[in-house]
Structure 1
Amino acid sequence: MRAADVGDPVMGRLVRSQGPGAAVEAIRKGALPEDFVAGERLHDHGPTRVAELHRRFQAWHARLEIADPAADLETGHRTGARLVIPGSTEWPTQLDALGHSRPLGLWVHGSADLRFSCLRSVAMVGARAATAYGVHVAAEFGVALSEAGWTVVSGGAYGIDGAAHRGALVGDAPTIAVLACGTDICYPSGHHELFAAIREKGAVVSECPPGVHPTRARFLIRNRLIAALSRGTLVVEAAIRSGALNTAGHAVSLGRYLAALPGPITSEMSIGCHKLIRDRNAVCVTTPEELIELVGLIGDDIAVPVRGPVLPRDALNEPTRRVLDAVPSRGGAGPASIAVSGGVDLTTALSCLGGLAAAGYVERVPKGWRLRRGQP
């Protein structure tokens, strides 16, 4: 984890090919395993030329020379973080979908069990420069998801991320913040209290060793973990160039559900969401229930269909509704005229008018019948 950059697929292939122990020994000796080099050439992925692999090995060797794994473990223990690696009981197996870019391990600081917490989880991402609308909706979704037993996964940043985490802290489910720096680094610094609350009820997670500070590249690489940990990703707000769209791309490539929240067409912070929906990469959702239905189990997490208000006239049968529609609101009309206008015979019209009068829909006037004011 100290030797290679986070998400390095070449290191991932080396570890898969040789095993972690043999990979470390090969890097220390600066000797390229022949079967690994042959595999790189055969599959034509990553650097296939031996010279390029040698340069990469030299960089790994230099980093490994100054690495102190024992100190990392001691720092993690002192600050409250634990190292979770593939094969351990807390390892989220859904990360295996990342293939050779799967993290070599994760530092986890918090009370929640990472694997168990992510079994029913949703990622919520969006703009740092969020609008009041975006912050409000993200917090509401966070509360509703957490109260429904769904873990909210996000990046701990300002804007949408922070609002989603704060909303999730109101409910019963944990919330997971995936950082682009070591778990002992508070970035952004203004979220010191928020991270403390997340550690109390959830967990702060990173593949960066202790003491590592964030970079732009690490933020983008981190996004794949947010998408991979969750069943689906919701983009709350995103400009046309946004890190949230990078997370959405990872969700699509992993075959995970992707949803987007519509916003005002005049808002630059919703352009990215609208593009995802227009390009049919994301499902439009407007309520937490719709999001849960998308990512949940078929038959168990069905959202209640949205319907308009039920009016008394909805209970009327077809002939009666036709007669009612033919009755004028002013003046008046005779039964024969109403029957012709409503497309029914005179007997039906008279019968329906009597029932409508008794129910308070119509009333008699000198010119015949008209709608009663304040009808139900």
Structure 2
Amino acid sequence: MNGDVGDGERLARAALTRVIEPGDEQGGRLLRQFGAVELWRRLRTTAGDVRELSGGERAQRSEEGEGVPLPRVSARRLSGYRLRAAAAEPERDLTAAAAGGGRFICPGDQEWPGQLDDLGDARPIGLWVRGRPHLRIWALRSVAVVGARACTAYGAHMAAAMGSGLAELGWVVVSGAAFGVDGAAHRGALAAGGATIAVLACGVDTVYPRGHAQMIGRIAEQGLIISELPPGDHPSPSRFILRNRVIAALTRGTVVVEAEYRSGSLATARSAQRLGRFTMGVPGPVTSGLSAGVHELLRGEGVLVTDAAEVAELVGDMGDLAPDRHGPVLARDLLEPDAVRVLEALPGREAADGRDVAREAGMTADEALAKLYELHSLGFVERRSDGWQLVSGTTQSADARRGGA
């Protein structure tokens, strides 16, 4: 296996992924209190005693608390744990994962991403992984890109651009492989030949959604697929929500591209905020309900970003700076201050005498005349019989500077 965790610990944790649901903090507390091997022994002992009984008898025995006790656990929850433990076959799950090119990693393994420990008792029991890359190394430089499933064309474009841009900058793009923004972000990273991780709410051998079968296959070949759930397990609404905490904890920051007020993507962002990670949002039209959640995020602690360079500047190391943003440089921007004053002193649509221009510019007639000839040579003004006038195309700019159109 891959790391420092013993076979007994790995087997027990693999079994417990069948018993304890993702994010179950009470189960996590028991795991912390007893350790994986002892907790599995206590659950398995009772399960073994009742394995041959009928379903009703098995539930009754578990609810009566027979077997090795577990403190501060309700009879109903304990019954559920023990019934699941009775059906768990960790050796079979580990064999199935290996046959599909996968592996199971645990806290203490060299490949385990230490940042997941920030989740406390809600930390994953372990992770089922498909793909060749080293998860811990990849997670050190990763960013989550999440958003609406029913995204607009704008949202899909921005997610794909964000995914490809981050990949080109050497970042790993993490998302949930769902329709909409998730899929666009993954595809953007794949198209750029970059790295991407899909965090699933089902077993890593289960393709969901079915429409993303080809994409998920490409991720397994080019990147990584990970899940808390054992092989063959199915997705459910609660598992999608709980999956989001792993996406938030695994990465340095989360970018939300389109999200309504009630959105799982915002749950990911809130998890990231609680964990002290960066939270970012891509703005959209204020008239779009699909951007309303993002804008609410930006009104709080979220940071507005428009491209991958801005994301990298926020979450990256010192020196990862986004390029300066500015409008186009116009010819008049290069003029000296005195020449600008003379240019602004000219009226918008009529000629002016040189002395009038000098008075408006606050300089002598000779100084103004010298600047007028300079501006004439540069194509900004022309000489008329009745004075000096702005050339066509300069008029609008002069009016705007004067507070006109």
Distance in 2, Cα, partners of 1:230 & 1:217: 21
Q: What's the counterpart of residue 4 of structure 1?
A: 20
Counterpart check, 1:352 vs 2:371: yes
Aligned counterpart for 1:328 among listed residues 332, 340, 347: 347
Shift of 1:56: 2.5
Distance in 1, Cα, partners of 2:115 & 2:132: 21
Q: What does 1:290-301 correspond to in 2, within 5 Å?
A: 290-298=310-318, 300-301=319-320
Note the alpha carbon deviations across 1:81-106, whole angstroms, 9 max, x for none: 11011111111111111111010100
Aligned counterpart for 2:174 among listed residues 141, 149, 153: 153
Note the alpha carbon deviations across 1:201-244, whole angstroms, 9 max, x for none: 10111000111100000000000011111100000010111111
Q: What's the counterpart of residue 21 of structure 1?
A: 37
Secondary structure of the equivalent of 1:303? coil
Instruction: Give unmatched runs, 5+ long, in structure 2.
Output: 1-16, 46-66, 398-405
Residues 262, 284 of structure 1: 8 Å contact kept: yes
Q: What's the counterpart of residue 287 of structure 1?
A: 307
Q: What's the counterpart of residue 273 of structure 1?
A: 294
Aligned counterpart for 1:111 among listed residues 121, 132, 144: 132
Distance in 2, Cα, partners of 1:348 & 1:13: 83
Residues 32, 54 of structure 1: 8 Å contact kept: no
Q: What's the counterpart of residue 59 of structure 2?
A: none
Note the alpha carbon deviations across 1:285-331, whole angstroms, 9 max, x for none: 11211111111113x21101110111121121212101111123433
Distance in 2, Cα, partners of 1:315 & 1:365: 25
Residues 331, 367 of structure 1: 8 Å contact kept: no
Q: What's the counterpart of residue 68 of structure 2?
A: 31
Distance in 2, Cα, partners of 1:5 & 1:162: 26
Shift of 1:53: 3.7
**Higher mean C-alpha deviation, range 12-21 or range 149-158:** 12-21
Q: What does 1:1-376 correspond to in 2, within 5 Å?
A: 1-29=17-45, 30-32=67-69, 37=71, 50=72, 52-278=73-299, 280-298=300-318, 300-373=319-392
Residues 233, 251 of structure 1: 8 Å contact kept: yes
Shift of 1:374: 5.3
Note the alpha carbon deviations across 1:3-33, whole angstroms, 9 max, x for none: 1111211121222222211121232344336
Shift of 1:54: 4.1
Instruction: Give unmatched runs, 5+ long, in structure 1.
Output: 38-49
TM-score by length of 1: 0.91
User: Number of matched residues?
Assistant: 358
- Amino acid of the structure 2 residue aligned with 1:202: G
Distance in 1, Cα, partners of 2:26 & 2:252: 27
Distance in 2, Cα, partners of 1:84 & 1:55: 30
Note the alpha carbon deviations across 1:35-77, whole angstroms, 9 max, x for none: xx4xxxxxxxxxxxx4x44443332122111110001011111
**Higher mean C-alpha deviation, range 57-66 or range 339-348:** 339-348
Q: What's the counterpart of residue 43 of structure 1?
A: none
Distance in 2, Cα, partners of 1:277 & 1:250: 15
Distance in 1, Cα, partners of 2:302 & 2:273: 9
Shift of 1:253: 0.7
Distance in 2, Cα, partners of 1:77 & 1:269: 41
- Amino acid of the structure 1 residue aligned with 2:90: P
Residues 241, 267 of structure 2: 8 Å contact kept: yes
Residues 23, 123 of structure 2: 8 Å contact kept: yes
Distance in 2, Cα, partners of 1:210 & 1:359: 73
Distance in 2, Cα, partners of 1:77 & 1:147: 32
Distance in 1, Cα, partners of 2:367 & 2:96: 87
Identical-residue share of aligned pairs (%): 48
Runs of 4+ in 1 over 4 A off after TM superposition: none
Residues 224, 247 of structure 1: 8 Å contact kept: yes
Root-mean-square deviation over aligned CA pairs: 1.6
**Higher mean C-alpha deviation, range 6-15 or range 249-258:** 6-15
Secondary structure of the equivalent of 1:238? coil
Distance in 2, Cα, partners of 1:196 & 1:136: 22
Note the alpha carbon deviations across 1:331-371, whole angstroms, 9 max, x for none: 31111111122233323212211221222221211111111
**Higher mean C-alpha deviation, range 349-358 or range 194-203:** 349-358
Secondary structure of the equivalent of 2:19? coil
Distance in 2, Cα, partners of 1:82 & 1:182: 12
Distance in 1, Cα, partners of 2:177 & 2:153: 18
